[in-house]
């Protein structure tokens, strides 16, 4: 059995943390450890750290998964891992499994689909593939199995009646997408809760609230099956903030770049691009990159934050001292 993971500890929150506190902690940790924000020599280490953060948020931000995780508990999981069988609580709820993994009972809730939940990195950026949504640990898989999320992950509103005015038998379901999937679009396979696998064509740049119609995939009626309407819900992202079809991203620049001007790399959903920073840039200045939003109609707004190095060489200190004297 895999080693137990304390998701609360990974995100730095207590077990009574609210959804808002968990979301805030995830964003803070994700920005801090995102591989694209670190030197090449640290990318491998940061990628592993980011995977843990991503996985912890995938569980704790989902009410059903969080409940299951809390019910399993560290002691119960470790008892089973040591080969001593499940804890009394787990045994009482898993006797029908004949001594098999007592946590298989939770895997019946698998929604199919399966590129994972949480957040992935920048498409096309270095190391992004290393923590794609489906890259969950053995610990996660031992409890949740295929209960990933990502593309093909349905919200709890699956199966609700469609809006008034639509035909009998029509149903609606929320379709949770990562920002990258919504941006790229394309044909994607997904498994419906009834077990049927279908191919859904997503338009590139599909926006929040967009309805995608799957004809004949609704509830049966006397006249045949109704239709299924997938309502797009775009998950929050570790780096980008989505507003309509526009994206916002913070980028750090060094003080000398801000003062003298220069070129920096800015992350986009299509990979990093070079951007010129004008001389005399002040902290908080925004740059607009047209066509780099969720869709080609949207823009990417880059907020520049001037950062001061935490450690300075003697030469750098001397230069800053000289600058202070002549300023």
Over residues 260-310, the pLDDT tens digits come to 999 998 989 988 899 999 999 999 999 999 999 999 999 999 999 998 877
Please report, for residues 109, 180, 249, 250, the alpha-carbon distance to residue 271 in angstroms, rounded to integers and kept in the order given.
35, 11, 13, 15
Distance CA 283, CA 252 (A): 10
173 token code pair:
């379901």
Q: Does 315 score more than 80 pLDDT?
A: yes
Instruction: Find which of 30-39, 174-183, 278-287, 309-318 is predicted with most confidence, using mean pLDDT.
Output: 278-287
DSSP summary character for residue 313: -
Calculated CA dihedral for residues 157, 161, 164, 166, nearest 10 degrees? 120
Q: Does 37 score more than 50 pLDDT?
A: yes
**Positive or negative CA dihedral for 131, 209, 171, 23?**
positive
**What pLDDT does 114 receive?**
32
Question: For the chain, which residues make up each domain, given as ranges?
Answer: 7-111+118-144, 154-234, 241-326
Please report, for residues 9, 18, 28, the alpha-carbon distance to residue 13 in angstroms, rounded to integers and kept in the order given.
6, 9, 12
In angstroms, the first-to-last Cα distance of the chain is 63
268 token code pair:
């986009």
Which CATH number is associated with domain 154-234?
Answer: 2.60.260.20
From 113, 6, 118, select the one nearest 55 (Cα to Cα): 118
pTM of the model: 0.52
User: pLDDT tens-digit profile of 86-118?
Assistant: 333 333 333 333 333 444 434 333 333 333 333
User: pLDDT tens-digit profile of 14-31?
Assistant: 999 999 999 999 988 888
**What pLDDT does 248 receive?**
95
User: pLDDT tens-digit profile of 141-167?
Assistant: 777 654 444 333 444 444 555 555 566
> Which whole number is the average pLDDT over 249-268?
91
User: pLDDT tens-digit profile of 189-244?
Assistant: 777 666 677 888 899 999 999 999 988 888 888 888 888 888 898 988 878 999 99
Distance CA 74, CA 4 (A): 7
From 90, 142, 88, 134, select the one nearest 113 (Cα to Cα): 134
Q: What value does the CA radius of gyration of the chain take, rounded to a whole number of Å? A: 24
Distance CA 91, CA 84 (A): 11
Please report, for residues 82, 180, 215, 298, the alpha-carbon distance to residue 242 in angstroms, rounded to integers and kept in the order given.
45, 12, 30, 10
Distance CA 325, CA 327 (A): 6
**What pLDDT does 286 receive?**
96
Distance CA 208, CA 174 (A): 10
**What pLDDT does 128 receive?**
32
Q: Can 154-234 and 241-326 be said to share one CATH topology?
A: yes
**What pLDDT does 16 receive?**
93
According to CATH, the topology of domain 7-111+118-144 is Helix Hairpins (1.10.287)
From 285, 287, 259, select the one nearest 274 (Cα to Cα): 287
**What pLDDT does 86 receive?**
37
According to CATH, the topology of domain 241-326 is HSP40/DNAj peptide-binding domain (2.60.260)
Residues present in the chain in total: 327
């Amino acid at each position: 059995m895999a080693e137990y993971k304390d998701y609360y500890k990974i995100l730095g929150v207590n077990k009574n943390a609210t959804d808002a506190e968990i979301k805030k902690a995830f964003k803070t940790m994700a920005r801090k450890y995102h591989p694209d924000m670190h030197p090449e020599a640290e990318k491998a280490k940061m990628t592993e750290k980011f995977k843990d953060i991503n996985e912890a948020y995938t569980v704790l931000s989902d009410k059903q998964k969080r409940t299951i995780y809390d019910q399993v508990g560290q002691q119960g999981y470790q008892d089973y891992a040591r080969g001593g069988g499940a804890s009394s609580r787990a045994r009482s709820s898993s006797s029908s499994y004949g001594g098999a993994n007592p946590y298989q009972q939770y895997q019946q809730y698998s929604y199919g689909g399966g590129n994972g939940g949480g957040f992935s990195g920048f498409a096309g950026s270095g190391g992004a593939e290393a923590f794609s949504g489906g890259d969950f640990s053995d610990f996660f898989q031992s409890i949740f199995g295929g209960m990933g999320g990502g593309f093909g992950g349905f919200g709890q509103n699956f199966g609700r009646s469609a809006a008034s005015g639509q035909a009998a038998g029509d149903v609606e379901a929320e379709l949770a997408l990562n920002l990258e999937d919504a941006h790229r679009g394309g044909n994607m396979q997904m498994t419906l809760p009834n077990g049927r696998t279908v191919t859904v064509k997503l338009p590139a740049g599909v926006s929040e609230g967009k309805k995608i119609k799957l004809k004949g995939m609704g509830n049966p009626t006397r006249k045949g099956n109704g239709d299924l309407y997938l309502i797009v819900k775009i998950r929050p992202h570790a780096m980008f903030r989505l507003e309509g079809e526009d994206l916002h991203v913070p980028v750090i620049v060094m003080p000398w770049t801000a003062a003298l001007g220069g070129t920096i790399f800015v992350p986009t959903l299509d990979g990093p691009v070079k951007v010129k920073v004008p001389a005399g840039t002040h902290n908080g200045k925004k740059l607009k990159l047209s066509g780099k939003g969720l869709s080609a109609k949207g823009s990417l707004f880059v907020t520049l934050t001037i950062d001061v190095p935490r450690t300075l060489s003697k030469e750098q200190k001397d230069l800053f001292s000289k600058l202070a004297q002549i300023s």
